[in-house]
């Protein structure tokens, strides 16, 4: 078990260990030292979202890295997938993103990319954690790293995004509302879609350091739905705070989530021959997507929750398309990590070529009723999931759903939550069983506190 790294890097509340300036200083030195042992010059790129705490952590990481002899390239506010791309493009040793993704401003975190623009493997994360236990040491003065700011980072990434779709793609005549979640896409996304010809209006594009993800973005699509209907737009696109998740809204204001977007892409790619290997979802992917893929003859596999596990399974099985209901979508023949802007462009390419509206394109993906209840706990989420009474309730719910639905019980990898998910064709049954299992978790949590 790793001490600091979770499903998606290191994350927590600002000011509480390890999300402190002191820890980030040590983390920067540890990363620099581990990379230096691999030989050759070390250069690390750092990007961040729009949280006010990003300034503090950027400075601390920068100081720790240069103390270890690493060079640093600062990108400024930049989507997570942009950091992945620029890590490769700039031939850096690694990339760092300062972000807590879809969480509120009072949280922050650190995500890493390898030189190939992919999430770090477990061995490297474990080596960094081991190095954190070593005394803080600074290299000789003449070996201290230098820092530069990459002035054209945004334009480099914007051009890359456009290069992932055919040069013939023309969005003229398409009216789009973008919700940038007051986050890292607030400058780049409107530029990309407008340069491809779309009529673009934006909400969630006025970050102040504190309003990231606040009632906007992919986790709060209601704001986008209202804006699309009010504007009479063709569709809406919502990003999360760091730009690796995407959800859409059709012309009627109905949400189109990650499962449905995967359906749009998978059906088109299968017909065109672009789809290779299985479509990979997660334990949380709606059963309706699995059923739709089966009808098309497309293999469907489920990975553990987390885009890193989707990536691993795609690589294991030679796949190019996968993702999560939340909107983490991986198109591995175009990018190395979840990229919200690129994923949205892939969907628009399908819609334009097939001359369909978004609501028409998702008709074949009939989702079943699904409820997720997030039970917030003080700690020990894994222990609560393993509690005997919770497991007994879980087994009873699973038996009742056998043959007609699914139940998933898991600790969150990013927050102090136990997530209870139930899905089946009967919405009343789903609601009842989800409530029963959530109540069992709450009771176990109360006992553990008592």
DSSP code at position 103? S
DSSP sequence for 60-73: HHHHHHHHTT-EEE
Tell which residue, 187, 289, 301, 182, has the closest CA to residue 241: 182
pLDDT at 81 (0 to 100): 97
Other C-beta atoms closer than 10 Å to the C-beta of 286 total 24
Confidence of residue 218 (pLDDT cuts 50, 70, 90): very high
What is the per-residue pLDDT across 180-203, written as a single tens digit (0 to 9) for each? 999 999 999 999 999 999 999 999
Residues with Cβ within 8 Å of residue 287, at least 6 apart in sequence: 367, 368, 370, 405, 406, 423
What is the per-residue pLDDT across 73-82, written as a single tens digit (0 to 9) for each? 999 999 999 9
Annotation marks residue 218 as catalytic: no
pLDDT at 321 (0 to 100): 98
What is the per-residue pLDDT across 44-69, written as a single tens digit (0 to 9) for each? 999 999 999 999 999 999 999 999 99
Check whether 209 has a pLDDT greater than 80. yes
- What is the distance between the alpha carbons of residues 382 and 308, in angstroms, rounded to a whole number? 20
pLDDT at 378 (0 to 100): 85
CB 325 within 8 A of CB 367: no
| CA distance readout (Å), 314 to 41, 142, 272, 305, 414 | 32, 44, 19, 14, 22
DSSP code at position 151? T
Q: Are β-strands 10-13 and 147-149 bridged in parallel, bridged antiparallel, or unpaired?
A: unpaired
Other C-beta atoms closer than 10 Å to the C-beta of 428 total 9
pLDDT at 450 (0 to 100): 61
Overall pTM surpassing 0.75 (yes/no): yes
Check whether 306 has a pLDDT greater than 90. no
The active-site residue, picked from 53, 73, 93, 101, is 101
Other C-beta atoms closer than 10 Å to the C-beta of 434 total 21
Other C-beta atoms closer than 10 Å to the C-beta of 379 total 11
Q: To the nearest 5 percent, what fractions of the chain are helix, strand and coil?
A: 40, 20, 40
Of the given ranges (35-49, 226-240, 365-379), which has the lowest mean pLDDT? 365-379
CB 264 within 8 A of CB 331: no
What is the per-residue pLDDT across 284-295, written as a single tens digit (0 to 9) for each? 899 899 989 999
Contacts 24+ apart (CB under 8 A), 194-198: 195/158, 195/162, 196/162, 196/165, 196/169, 196/170, 196/171, 196/345, 197/170, 197/171, 197/172, 197/173, 198/171, 198/172, 198/174
- What is the distance between the alpha carbons of residues 419 and 308, in angstroms, rounded to a whole number? 19
Distance of CA 185 to the CA centre of its chain: 13
- What is the distance between the alpha carbons of residues 135 and 30, in angstroms, rounded to a whole number? 10
Residues with Cβ within 8 Å of residue 158, at least 6 apart in sequence: 188, 191, 192, 195
Check whether 305 has a pLDDT greater than 90. no
In the block, residue with structure tokens 């506190």: 449
CB-based burial, 90-99: b 16+ in 10 Å, e otherwise? eebbbbbbbb
- What is the distance between the alpha carbons of residues 266 and 245, in angstroms, rounded to a whole number? 18
Residues with Cβ within 8 Å of residue 357, at least 6 apart in sequence: 234, 235, 250, 251, 351
CB 15 within 8 A of CB 49: no
Q: Please, what is the Cα angle at 395 between 390 and 400, to 5 degrees?
A: 125
What is the per-residue pLDDT across 380-419, written as a single tens digit (0 to 9) for each? 899 999 999 999 999 999 999 987 889 999 998 778 899 9
Mean pLDDT score of the chain:
96
- What is the distance between the alpha carbons of residues 84 and 160, in angstroms, rounded to a whole number? 12
Percent of the chain with pLDDT over 70: 100
């Amino acid at each position: 078990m790793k001490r600091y790294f979770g499903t998606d890097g290191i994350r927590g509340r600002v000011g509480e260990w390890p999300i402190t300036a002191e820890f980030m200083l040590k983390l920067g030195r540890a990363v620099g030292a581990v990379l230096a042992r691999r030989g050759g010059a070390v250069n690390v790129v750092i990007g961040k979202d729009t949280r006010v705490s990003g300034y503090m952590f950027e400075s601390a990481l920068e100081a720790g890295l240069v103390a270890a002899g690493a060079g640093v390239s600062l990108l400024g506010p930049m989507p997570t997938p942009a950091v992945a791309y620029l890590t490769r493009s700039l031939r850096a040793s690694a990339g760092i993103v300062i972000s807590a993704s879809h969480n509120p401003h009072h949280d922050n975190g650190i995500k890493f990319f390898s030189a190939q623009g992919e999430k770090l493997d477990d061995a490297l994360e474990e080596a960094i954690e081991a190095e954190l236990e070593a005394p803080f040491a600074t290299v000789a003065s003449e070996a201290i790293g230098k820092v530069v700011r990459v002035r054209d980072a945004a334009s480099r990434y914007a051009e890359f995004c456009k290069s992932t779709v055919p040069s013939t793609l023309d969005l003229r005549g398409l009216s789009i509302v973008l919700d940038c979640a007051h986050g890292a896409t607030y400058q780049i996304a409107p530029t990309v879609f407008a340069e491809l010809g779309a009529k673009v209006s934006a909400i969630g594009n006025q970050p102040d350091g504190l309003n990231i993800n606040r009632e906007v973005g992919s986790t709060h699509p209601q704001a986008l739905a209202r804006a699309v209907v009010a504007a009479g737009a063709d569709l809406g696109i919502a990003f999360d705070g760091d730009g690796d998740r995407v959800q859409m809204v059709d012309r009627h204001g109905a949400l189109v989530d990650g499962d449905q977007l995967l359906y749009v892409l998978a059906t088109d790619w299968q017909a065109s021959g672009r789809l290779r290997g299985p479509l990979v979802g997660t334990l949380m992917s709606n059963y309706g997507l699995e059923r739709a893929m089966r009808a098309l003859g497309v293999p469907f596999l489920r990975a553990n929750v987390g885009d890193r596990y989707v990536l691993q399974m795609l690589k294991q099985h030679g796949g190019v398309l996968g993702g999560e209901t939340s909107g983490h979508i991986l198109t591995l023949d175009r990018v190395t990590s979840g990229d919200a802007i690129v994923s949205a462009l892939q969907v628009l390419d399908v819609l334009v070529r097939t001359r369909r509206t978004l609501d028409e394109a998702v008709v074949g993906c009939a989702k079943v009723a699904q409820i997720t209840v997030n039970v917030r706990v003080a700690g020990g989420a894994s222990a609560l999931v393993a509690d005997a009474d919770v497991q007994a309730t879980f087994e009873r719910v699973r038996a009742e759903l056998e043959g007609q639905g699914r139940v998933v019980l898991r600790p969150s990898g990013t927050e102090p939550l136990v997530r209870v998910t139930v899905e089946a064709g009967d919405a009343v049954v789903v609601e009842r069983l989800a409530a029963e299992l959530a109540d069992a978790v709450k009771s176990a949590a109360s006992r553990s506190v008592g």
